[in-house]
Amino acid sequence: MPTQPDNPHDRFFKATFSQPLIFADFAQAFMPRDVFERLDLGTLVRETDSFIDEQLSEHFADLLFSVQYGKKPLRIALLLEHKSYPVRYPHLQLNQYLLNYWTHQIRQKQRPVPIIPIVVYHGRTRWNQRPFAAYFTEADTSLHRFLPAFDYLLFDLSTVQTGDLMPLKTSFGKLTAKLLKNIRHKHALQRMFVEYASLIRQLLDEPEGQQFLGTAYIYMSWSSGLTTPEIVHIFGQVSYHAKDIAMSAAEILIQEGLKKGIQRGIEEGRQIGIQLGKQEGVQSMLVQTVQAMLKLNMDIHTIAVVVGRPEAEVETIIADITRSGES
């Protein structure tokens, strides 16, 4: 099993939406027309800074872009909501983010630039977007002028159906939306790869598409709850090429995990000595993984690549499994 990063959703979000093509596709699909039509996407640049402080890190990951709005500078903040359910007062967190950015600009002796905050939400229940004043049920309209007045855009992927993806023009955009939406639902992920098989095969003709599929594999490994053999099998149903990409990504994850595991083992060994029981546990997990892959009718070469062991060792494990089944 690959070592999981602190927040795999953040990793996938930044790996995909940081690409101008994917961001621009979502922008043209979901932004108000009067705003989108004034954006000069040829000037779109991702900023390297983040304005997520320690408190906001519980709620969001951010990507900040600069772009020309007509002839004026504009910033667009894309914010991935961490919670799997809608937060009660999103304006409070968004307001803090905006203040963090404008405070930074003022300290740098820069003029404040408008920011469009866009929340990307892929939780289980629908997000009910309301104006900030609606939180203050005891305040009549004459008091609303004393409240912060700003809005935000929402990409609520919990409500997205297949037909709703039509505004997205690129294959990358459609698959990104579906992966974020379905990542917590194993069967939906499996259906998605069947439904979009022809689109995925088209992506495989380009290096960018191959890289995207590798990123998708890693995200699924981290977040879907599917085993490595199950994910390789899903990719294999699309095409042999897709399966090869999955196997290559699996090998990368295994090597990263082995390096971290070896280092961790050295540190633990210094403290508690020989880890025989742990080695036995690793071997038991390896045998279980090989058994699962055999049930998917995978060949020895595929199994060896996925589990990161020589084919001869895999053959020995399979022979032991066979003998155990016969006894």
What integer pLDDT is reported at residue 75 of this predicted model? Answer: 94
What integer pLDDT is reported at residue 273 of this predicted model? Answer: 41
What integer pLDDT is reported at residue 294 of this predicted model? Answer: 75
What integer pLDDT is reported at residue 1 of this predicted model? Answer: 39
What integer pLDDT is reported at residue 3 of this predicted model? Answer: 43
What integer pLDDT is reported at residue 124 of this predicted model? Answer: 79
Question: The pTM is what?
Answer: 0.72
Residue 185 tokens, joined: 């639902």
Stretches where the chain sits below pLDDT 50 are: 1-5, 259, 262, 269, 272-277
Strands, E, within the chain: which ranges?
Answer: 39-47, 60-69, 72-81, 115-121, 153-156
Residue ranges of the domains in the chain?
Answer: 8-168
Residues 269-283 as b or e (16 or more Cβ within 10 Å = b): eeeeeeeeeeeeeee
Q: What is the rounded distance in angstroms from the CA atom of residue 270 to the CA atom of residue 175?
A: 46
Q: What is the rounded distance in angstroms from the CA atom of residue 9 to the CA atom of residue 262?
A: 26
Q: Return the DSSP state at 327.
A: -
What integer pLDDT is reported at residue 99 of this predicted model? Answer: 93
The angle that helices 20-30 and 8-17 make with each other, rounded to 10 degrees, is 90
Tens-place pLDDT, residues 90-103? 999 899 999 999 99
